[in-house]
Amino acid sequence: MSALISVVIPVFNGSPHIKDSLESVLQQTHANMEIVLVDGGSTDGSREWIFEQSDPRIRAMVMPHGISAAENWNAASHEASGEYIKLLCQDDILYPHALEQQLSELEAHPNASFAVARRDIVDARGKMIYRNRGLRNMKPGPMTGMTALEISYLSGTNNLGEPVAILFRHEALDAVLNWDDQRPFLLDLDLYTKALQTQSIVVSTNSIGAFRVSSSSWSTRLVEEQTNQLRAWQHEVAEILDPAPTRTKRIRAELALHQQSWLRRMAYRVLKLRGNFTSQGTAGRLTP
């Protein structure tokens, strides 16, 4: 039998998109999987809904009201029993061959700790905003973690993308847990950073899913806060990289940070004018 993959979905007030997210997992061409739904205190009926699911591959559990996004993500991750783990935010979508593709890549590259691919960005109605985002300046195939970390540092953003784009080996994720939301916008990137210091990856430059933007995640104030958190992250990574970034690279990284901040502001304004925001965030996840 093929390897067991755990898809873990933290849930918090997941309406109206959790149904579509779960359906995208159930439609995967890789059938040997478990789906772990962990509710973190929903008040919109999501908590009751997850226990109504009848597919035998689904397990549901609840956490106390008032827990943080990181606590919900950690609870979901620790419940996984598969050889491989994908954390999926409650309003994101996996394309049908996503798990099959990333499993194949990891099996073909046994030294890689996790597989990463591009993803699309969609609005509240599922309308495409951007295609094939992420992994800028990364070529398909295996890559050392430190190389990936330097490229991400120079990109001025979370170049690896949200968890929808990542499939971890179980032991590799366990080695770097827990998720930590001291910097909420970098909840995923901070964990990737821990992993990349000792682990290698395999890259695919096709899109395997869609990340949905949320109204709670987009405003000029939040863009400014995210930029500040990314700047602090860049400073920390500059101390990790060996050799340390040259002055030219540090300037390049700072310019990329400002460019990405400007692009997020423009995207926010366009989407606000279009009215294409969703009413819910991604289980506490703030959009980068």
Q: So what's the pLDDT on residue 281? A: 44
pLDDT at 215 over 80: no
Check: CB of residue 207 under 8 Å from CB of residue 95.
yes
Average confidence (pLDDT) over 94-123: 97
Indicate the DSSP class of residue 185. Answer: G
Interatomic CA distance for residues 158 and 136, integer angstroms = 10
Amino acid 274: pLDDT: 66
Tell me how far apart the alpha carbons of residues 101 and 152 are, in angstroms, rounded to a whole number. Answer: 23
Instruction: Let me know if 243 is exposed, middle or buried by CB neighbors in 10 A (0-12, 13-18, 19+).
Output: exposed
d(CA 54, CA 42): 20
Tokens of 111: 């030294």
CATH architecture of 5-216: Alpha-Beta Complex (3.90)
Instruction: Kindly state the average pLDDT of the residues 254-273.
Output: 84
Q: Nearest 5°: phi and psi at 113?
A: -85, -30
Condensed to tens digits (0 to 9), the pLDDT of residues 143-157 reads 999 999 999 999 999
Q: Are 132 and 85 in contact (CB under 8 A)?
A: no
Q: Which residues contact 279 (CB under 8 A, 6 or more apart)?
A: 16, 124, 215
Residues in the chain, how many? 288
Q: What is the mean pLDDT of residues 81-92?
A: 97
Share of the chain above pLDDT 70, in %: 90
Query: Span 261-282, mean pLDDT?
Result: 67
- What pLDDT does 213 receive? 82
Domain layout of the chain by residue ranges: 5-216
pLDDT at residue number 7: 98
How confident is residue 220, by pLDDT bands cut at 50, 70 and 90? Answer: low
Query: How high is the pLDDT of residue 123?
Result: 84
Residues 40-62: what's their mean pLDDT?
95
Give 96's pLDDT tier (boundaries 50, 70, 90): very high
pTM for the model: 0.92
pLDDT at 275: 65
Q: Are strands 112-122 and 128-133 parallel, antiparallel or unpaired?
A: antiparallel
Taking a C-beta distance cutoff of 8 angstroms, is the pair 210, 164 a contact? yes
| Parallel/antiparallel/unpaired status of strands 166-169 and 112-122 | antiparallel
Positive or negative: CA dihedral 90, 91, 95, 96: positive
Mean pLDDT of 222-248: 94
- What is the Cα–Cα distance from 276 to 288, expressed in whole angstroms? 17
Q: Identify the band that residue 279 occupies on the pLDDT scale cut at 50, 70 and 90.
A: very low
| Least confident residue range of 14-28, 165-179, 190-204, 257-271 | 257-271
Region of poorest pLDDT, from 74-78, 267-271, 279-283:
279-283
User: Is the CB of residue 253 less than 8 Å from the CB of residue 156?
Assistant: yes
Neighbouring C-alpha atoms within 13 Å toward the C-beta of 256 = 18
Which of 192, 181, 205, 196 has the alpha carbon at shortest distance from 282?
181
Average pLDDT, the chain: 91
